[in-house]
A and B are shown apart, each in its own frame.
Chain A
Amino acid sequence: MPWITIISVILCISLIQTTLLQHISVLGIQPDLFIIFLVFHSLNSKLERSLHTNWTIGFAKDCFSEGLFGLNTVLFVIVGYMISMIKDNIYGRHLATQISVTFIISIIYNFLFLFMFSISFTSAGLLPMVLKCPLIAIYNSIIVPPAFWLLNKFYSSFGFPSVRRKTR
C-alpha cells in the first residue's frame, strides 16, 4: 500500500511538473516538486524506505528530463541520504526546519547537478546557471508550506505508516 501511494504521488508530481509549472515560472525558474517531495519523504520515513523512494523519485525525474540518464537518480539518493543522516538531530515537523532543509538541499543538489553537467558539456553559460541556484532554492522554499500541507493530507488519508505514527 505505501508503494502505491508513493508511486501515485510521483506520477502526479511528474504530470504537474511537465505541464502546469511552466505557467508559474519566474525568470525562467520553476519550483522543483521532486526535490520538495524528496525532502518531505526523507524527513518522514526510515532510512531504508527513504532511500528506495529517493531512487524512484530520481528515476522519474530522469525520465522526464533531457540529459544524462541516471544522474538525477544518483544525486537524489545522495541528498536523500544526507537528510536521513541529520533528521534525528533536527525537529522535522516544524515548518521553519522544513523550509530550511529544502533550501539547503536545493542548493546542494543544484550545485552537484551543475558540477556533473560541466563535466559532461562545455557550456559557456555556466556562471548564469550557478547564479540561478539560490533563486531556485528560494522558490522551492516558498512552495514548501502548501506542498507539505497537501502531501501531509494525502499521506494521512491513505494511512501512510510513518506519518500516522508521528501524528498520534
Chain B
Amino acid sequence: MNPDFGRSIKSSIIYILVIISISLLTIPASITNNIKVTIASPLAPVQKIISQTSDLFKNSLKKLASIASNTQKNEEMEEELFLLKNKIVKQQDDINTYKRKLEIVSIFKKDNYSDRKPIIADIIGYDVSNFRKSIIIDVGTKQGASVGDIIVFGNALVGRISAIGRSSGRVILITDPASNVPSRFLQSRTQGMVQGTADGTCIMKYVPRQTEINESDKVVSSGIGGAFPRSLYIGDVVEVKQKNAKLFKDIKIKPRIAISKIEHVLVIKKQSVESLSESEVNYQ
C-alpha cells in the first residue's frame, strides 16, 4: 500500500475522531447517560468483585488494628457484660412481644405497598474524576430502579440516580458540584439550596444575610420541586461567613454521610417519593 495513502487515512481517522468527540458534547444528557451506562455495564461484575475484595481487606486490617488496642479493655468489658446479660434476659420478653407486632405491620405493608419496597444496593465503583462526585451501584432496571430514584443511607440523603443500566446505575452525590438540593434548616425553617463542592463538603446558597444561623445547625431536604422527598437529613453547618457586600450568607455544610465510609445504600423508588409528597399534600 502507498505510504502516503496510509498516512492520509490515519490523519483522516484523527479528524473524524475529533469531530465525533465535539459532536458528543452536543448530544442531550439523557442519551449520553445511556451510552455511558451501556459501555460501562459489562465491567460492573468485575468492579463488584474488586470492590468487595478491597472492602474485605480493608475491614480485616481495621479488625487487626482494633484487636491490638482492645486487649486492655477486655477485662473491664467482661464485668460489664455479666451485668448486661442479666438485663438482656429481662428485655428479651419485651422484644418478643414487639416482634409479633412488627410482623403484623410488615404483612400489612407488604400487602399494600409491595411495589414500593426500597432496594439495598452495594457501592461497586466511584467517579474517576477528581472534580465530580458520583458512585456506581449494583442495582439497575432489572431490580426495578429508574433514573431520579433517591439514594439514602440510614434516613440521610446520599444522592440521586442520574443514569441507569440493566444491572448497574450511576448516582450523582449531593457533594457533586452540579448537584442542587432544595433544603431548609431544621430549627429556623429558613430555606436554601445545598450545592456540592467536590471536596466532600457542601455549601448552602441563597440564605438571607439577616437569618441567624449557628454552627452545628441541622439541614434537611425541603421537598420543594419534587425531586427529593422532604425531611431527609443532609448535614450539619460547620462554618458561617458573612461578607459585608453580600446579600446571602456563605454557609459550609458537612454532609451526614461520608461516602468513603459506607459500602451499601438504599434506593427509594421515585413512585414512593411522589406518593409520599402527595400524601403530605393531602394531609396538609
Contact = CB atoms under 8 A, between A and B. Distances in A.
Q: Does B bind A?
A: yes
Interface of A: 11, 14-15, 17-23, 25, 27-30, 32, 34, 48, 51-52, 55, 58-59, 61-74, 77, 110, 113-114, 117, 120-121, 123-126, 128-129, 132, 136
A112 to B, nearest CB: 12
A123 B177 contact: yes
Contacts of A59: 21
B32 A129 contact: no
Q: How large is the interface on B (under 10, 10 to 19, 20 to 34, 35 or more residues)?
A: 35 or more
A63 B40 contact: yes
Contacts, number: 156
A73 B36 CA distance: 13
Contacts of B50: 15, 19-20
B192 to A, nearest CB: 12
B17 A55 contact: yes
**Interface on chain A toward B: helix, strand, loop, or mixed SS?**
helix
A108 B11 CA distance: 25
Nearest to B50: A19
A127 to B, nearest CB: 9
A89 to B, nearest CB: 22
30 contacts: A22-B260, A23-B54, A27-B199, A52-B13, A52-B17, A55-B14, A62-B24, A63-B40, A64-B40, A64-B125, A64-B127, A65-B128, A66-B172, A67-B129, A67-B178, A70-B25, A74-B25, A77-B17, A77-B18, A114-B131, A120-B178, A121-B177, A123-B178, A123-B197, A124-B203, A125-B196, A126-B177, A128-B197, A129-B199, A132-B198
Contacts of B10: 48, 52
A76 B260 CA distance: 28
Contact of A30 (B13, B130, B162, B197): B130
Given A63-B39, A66-B127, A77-B18, 7 more contacts: A18-B128, A30-B130, A61-B129, A64-B127, A69-B29, A70-B24, A74-B25
B163 to A, nearest CB: 8
A22 B185 CA distance: 31
Interface of B: 7, 10-11, 13-14, 17-18, 20-25, 27, 29, 32-33, 35-36, 39-40, 43, 46-47, 50-51, 54, 58, 124-134, 136, 162, 170, 172, 176-178, 195-200, 203, 205, 260
Contacts of B177: 117, 121, 123, 125-126, 129
A68 B132 CA distance: 11
A106 to B, nearest CB: 10
A34 to B, nearest CB: 7
B140 to A, nearest CB: 16
Contacts of B129: 61, 65-67, 72, 113
